[in-house]
Chains A and B, each alone.
Chain A
Amino acid sequence: MTIEMFEKPLGMRDDFPLIAKQKANLRKQGTQLIEQAGYELLQTPTLEYYDTIGKISAISDDALFKLLDSQGKTLVLRPDMTSPIARVAASKLLREKMPIRLGYYSNVFRAQKREGGRPAEFEQMGVELIGDDSLYADAEVISLAWDLLQELKIGSARIVIGHTRLLELILSDFGLDREQSSKVRELFVAKNGVGVEQLSKELPIPSGKLASFLALMQATTVADWKQWINGQNEEQRKLYRDMERLEELFERNGLGDAITFDISFSSHMTYYTGLVFEFYGAGSGFPLGSGGRYDGLMEQFGLQVGATGFGLRVDRLLESVAAEQAEEPHVLILFDEQSEQAAFEKAQQLRASGKRATLQYAPAVQALEPFTALFTEVIRGEELHNG
């Protein structure tokens, strides 16, 4: 099949002026908030090695855009931002200055196999807080993400929180081995209730505990989690206490009603080791973003520190943000040979006063009417002469 001149690779999109402008606004609002919260913005390269970022990123191999450099090494277009930032934090500047707060607004690339609705390149905005393994770090990034959603006026925003490690411990208390656990986790990620029910019949779960096992998918508060916590297990007790404190802290900050604590919530991103969370809002059929604690990822870069962060997808935020229709004033000044200088001066004057002004040589416009309709005000050269 030949490629037609207007075609783009699967999943690639043009941002027309309106979208480009909305994105620019969103970027400004978002990065400002991130900086105010004490995070420093950074930019990492678009190309990375397949053997480092490509393998560590937890994005499936067939979603990576791969290419070869001049030495024959395989490169990837960065598929996420968390692993490049982990690389930077582990290898350069920052080892001494832990904990470190980094923020970003960058495009990432994920090859798509399926039809429309799924971009292969999209912007992500987020933060990473590296070198702090306390629950306050988790609370900080979740609250910051929440503030961002509020600032952008996302309707009925919601956060779902789970805990990878705690879930692992609970599943092993049900007598599941590693392989069985990971099967259950996979079904939990997809919230496949039917699958869990079917699988539970093959698992070595005592019949008395079956109802309790199936109830894992129903929990919505931290108090709901208590029934599965094994009081004999030190680690479970501690993690549960942390969750209680976290809930308390969110209640105090007014997020309480917006959070669902779902112990079965799990991420397909395999590098998360502790708290995991996801954000939702009205207007988009897909999650707005996600995040969690990924101490294991830092270890891969040779650093034994805790790290947590979130990323929000700008394309989905845009679907959720109420489009602001308010048209801002935009003046068109049409000039001809005679009025050229006056028109130029007028434009400078308008621009200096903060207005938006377009200068256009009138005879070069083919259809005057549709063109002038794009502006809120039109000044013609003749008027400038007289005035």
Chain B
Amino acid sequence: MDELTIAMPKGRIFEEAYELLVGAGYDLPKELDDSRKLIVEAPNEKFRFILAKPMDVPTYVEHGVADIGIAGKDVLLEHDRDVHELLDLGISACYIATAGLPDTEMDEVTPRIATKYPAVASHYYRSKGEQVEIIELSGSIELAPLIGLSDRIVDIVSTGRTLKDNGLVEYEKIADITSRLIANPVSYRLKQQRITELVDKLREQVGR
């Protein structure tokens, strides 16, 4: 049986993905995430887990150093990586939306958008026929409209709490986001049987 290297995002998504795999009948060590180790083996299943930053998972998979991975659709949309998107795991559901201060219009001359997702934001506004200036931030995006850096933000919304607490409102929804099982195109062919089996087992689990 071929060993499968799986790139897993650390943090919130990890827990849910772990539950899914265990639920699908895979025999994984109990405490995968709580050490500081970056590579963890699951010898009973011949799995090797790489614990990575969520944004980096598609990169590992694209280069083939991980055979498969679990990545948020937001990351896949932002970075156009050459990976196969095999299954919607239905976990960590949220969406990308535009938001801003209530009852405001965008600046007519140079509307400015702050975001962690410059490619998604740029694509969205272009498809609406609007030219905007994108300001890339790496966190606490909600700050931008509050202190006058931008007219709108493009960001992940899960409960809407953060927006509300900061006096912002949602304007348009851009895309629904869930976590996806992705595969390297070469691994998919060379280890097709193992990967398909995994997909089938997870699909059953997701369907419940």
Contacts and interface: CB of A to CB of B under 8 A. Distances in A.
A286 B85 contact: no
B12 interface: no
Contacts, number: 54
A194 B186 contact: no
A43 interface: no
Among B64, B180, B187, B196, the one with the most A-chain Cβ atoms within 10 Å of its Cβ is: B64
Interface in A79-118: 117
Interface residues of B, number: 22
A190 B185 CA distance: 9
Given A260-B189, A285-B64, A197 B88 contact: yes
Contacts of B190: 156, 158, 280-282
A287 B185 contact: yes
Nearest to A285: B64
Nearest to A193: B86
A284 B190 CA distance: 11
Most chain B CB neighbours (cut-off 10 Å) among A193, A195, A280, A281 = A193
Instruction: Say whether chain B's binding surface is mostly helix, strand, loop, or mixed.
Output: mixed
Contact of B85 (A158, A193, A282): A193
Contacts of A287: 185-186
A191 B86 contact: yes
Contact of B84 (A192, A218, A220, A286): A192
A195 B86 CA distance: 9
A200 to B, nearest CB: 13
A220 to B, nearest CB: 7
A246 interface: no
B85 A190 contact: yes
A169 interface: no
B189 to A, nearest CB: 5
B74 to A, nearest CB: 14
B85 A285 contact: no
Interface in A127-172: 156, 158, 160
Contact of A190 (B65, B84, B180, B187): B84
Nearest to A117: B63
Nearest to A218: B196
Interface of A: 117, 156, 158, 160, 190-195, 197, 218, 220, 260, 280-282, 284-287
Interface of B: 62-65, 82, 84-88, 180, 183-190, 192, 196, 199
